[in-house]
Amino acid sequence: MSVVSTKTANTAQGLPVPCTGQRIHTMAHELEQHSDGRTAFVAGRNIAAWHRLGTVKPGKLTVDEVMTDGLLGGWDVRTEPLLASIPGKRCIECAASLNTQHEDVCGTGDEAEAEARQEAGAEDFDADNQGRNPYRLVVPDDAAFPMPIPGHFTTIRNHPITGDPEPLGVVQGGYKPIQNEELAEILSAIVDETGAVFDTAGSLRGGREVFMSLQLPEGIQVGGCDAHNLNLVGLNSHDGSRALEGLITFVRVVCANTQHMARQNFTTRFSIRHVSGAKNRIAEARAQLKLTFKASEEFQKEAEKLIREKLTVDEFQKVCEEIWPRTGDMGTAALHEHHRRGTHLVKLFKEADTQENIRGTRWAGVQAIGEYVDHFIPVRTKKDEAVARADRALFGKGSQIKAKAFQLLQVG
């Protein structure tokens, strides 16, 4: 998701203001919005998100605020056997056949329909049919019976507003829910020695996924003008779609794209499966995090080198050609796309407002490729394009392209 620059964020409200000429990119937020008007999102430090939804708190977020203001507390996510509704031929309670009358004492059946038939003057089907209710007929729903699906379960939560049970997804045997409170506990335990504070938290896609982010205390400044922040983001799903994940990300403040350049080299990701003993992985995650702090120092050193080194347009084009090579078997459409991409990349490198402080450097080359991948590269999807684009930029091929760009432009 996109956030505006905070370089000029000295407003009375404490809200971020975009730099002059800064383009602001937005995407569908997919935050959970409830019928009472509240949105399951909370942000700290008096900095609102681009969507301006949820609750903005004036200071550092506490775990209690994450749970209450983020509407993440008390879900009690659990699993129940998954049942299939199987059509039957008789009422599951009184055994009366389809399209015949329920027994008078049978509780199954539509009372409203029975009252309507009675008011309409429906006659008995059979005067000798003692003990049966002439106004309630056995319909297919009355005869359907539940059948457990072996090895499959549905995850259920208590709705944060109504408290009613609500299904979230289907999982298989061995799946153990990790509560939102546990996610906060795990993140806190991982970084309790660093002074990190909770920054944002929320619920996505109807509660199927949740996220929490902590801002780590030491930021990164590249060349005295290109600011980064190091964040630990915890992601969890309650529908079996993903393991609990922790991501260390660099966020570039001037355009607020999550920086995943050289992710394989300088950032760390850990995951905890939804199985018994998940908390035992905290020690392993903390060990990986220590490597990440070391990696962030290396990242800053490399970035400083890149911002001091000039890069010509011809050199930039050669890097782009190595990432997106032109091959002899390309058809007309592919050649047109190759030319269009190259022209767009050069325009970003030479003219983009986001390059103002770093224009003409190797670091600008890295940023131009990253901006193209995050915001302009074509996406083919039946889902929301912006969501698909962000997912690819963070977790898919987009992050690989940015990593390769960083490697190709590194200074020896």
pLDDT tens digit sequence for 196-242:
888 889 888 899 989 888 887 766 667 766 666 677 888 889 998 88
- According to DSSP, the residues that pair with 56 across neighbouring strands are 43
Q: Are 79 and 156 in contact (CB under 8 A)?
A: yes
| pLDDT for the residue 179 | 93
pTM: 0.61
Question: Per-residue confidence at 18, pLDDT binned at 50, 70, 90?
Answer: very low
User: Considering the chain, what percentage of its residues have pLDDT values greater than 90?
Assistant: 28
pLDDT of 4 higher than 60? no
Q: What is the pLDDT of residue 17?
A: 27
> Residue 180 contacts by C-beta under 8 Å, 6 or more apart in sequence?
67, 72, 73, 75, 77, 210, 236
pLDDT top residue among 9 and 33: 33
Confidence of residue 330 (pLDDT cuts 50, 70, 90): confident
What pLDDT does residue 355 have? Answer: 82
pLDDT tens, residue by residue, 242-278: 888 877 766 422 222 322 332 333 345 677 777 766 6
Among 2-6, 172-176, 312-316, top mean pLDDT goes to: 312-316
| Domain parsing of the chain, residue ranges | 41-75+174-301, 93-138, 309-409
Average pLDDT in the 327-335 region? Answer: 90
Average pLDDT, the chain: 76
pLDDT of residue 343: 95
Q: What is the pLDDT of residue 245?
A: 80
Q: What's the pLDDT at 264? A: 34
Higher pLDDT, 367 or 7: 367
Gyration radius of the chain over CA positions? 28
Cβ neighbours, 10 Å, residue 60 = 14
Mean pLDDT for 331-347 is 94
Token couple for 317? 């084009």
Percentage of the chain lying above the pLDDT 70 cut: 67
> What's residue 232's pLDDT?
80
- Kindly report the backbone phi and psi dihedral angles of residue 115, in degrees, each rounded to the nearest multiple of 5, phi listed first: -65, -40
- Which pLDDT belongs to residue 114? 62
- Residue 158's closest CA among 80, 217, 86, 106? 80
Residue 73 has pLDDT above 60, yes or no: yes
Buried b (16+ CB within 10 A) or exposed e, 104-114: eebebbeeeeb
Per-residue model confidence as pLDDT tens digits over 165-199:
999 999 988 888 999 998 898 888 777 766 788 88
Q: Of the spans 46-50, 124-128, 399-403, 408-412, which averages the highest pLDDT?
A: 408-412
Residues 6+ apart with CB under 8 A from 296: 218, 220, 230, 248, 250, 266
Nearest to 180 by CA among 283, 42, 1: 42
Flag whether pLDDT at 397 surpasses 50.
Answer: yes
Highest-pLDDT range among 13-27, 32-46, 118-132: 32-46
Q: Provide mean pLDDT across the span 75-91.
A: 92
Q: What is the mean pLDDT of residues 363-380?
A: 85
Amino acid at 405: A
Could you read off the pLDDT of 272-310 as tens digits, one per residue? 777 766 666 666 676 766 666 677 777 788 888 999 999
Q: What is the pLDDT at residue 280?
A: 66
Whose CA is closest to 184, among 171, 164, 202, 169?
202
Top pLDDT among 325 and 17 is at: 325
Q: Are 231 and 308 in contact (CB under 8 A)?
A: no
Instruction: Specify the residue for token string 């019928």.
Output: 35
> Does the structure show a pLDDT above 90 at 67?
yes
User: How is residue 106 annotated by DSSP?
Assistant: -
What is the structure's pLDDT at 311?
95
- The H or E element spanning position 182 is helix 180-190
The reported pLDDT for the residue numbered 349 is 95
Residue 170 confidence (pLDDT):
94
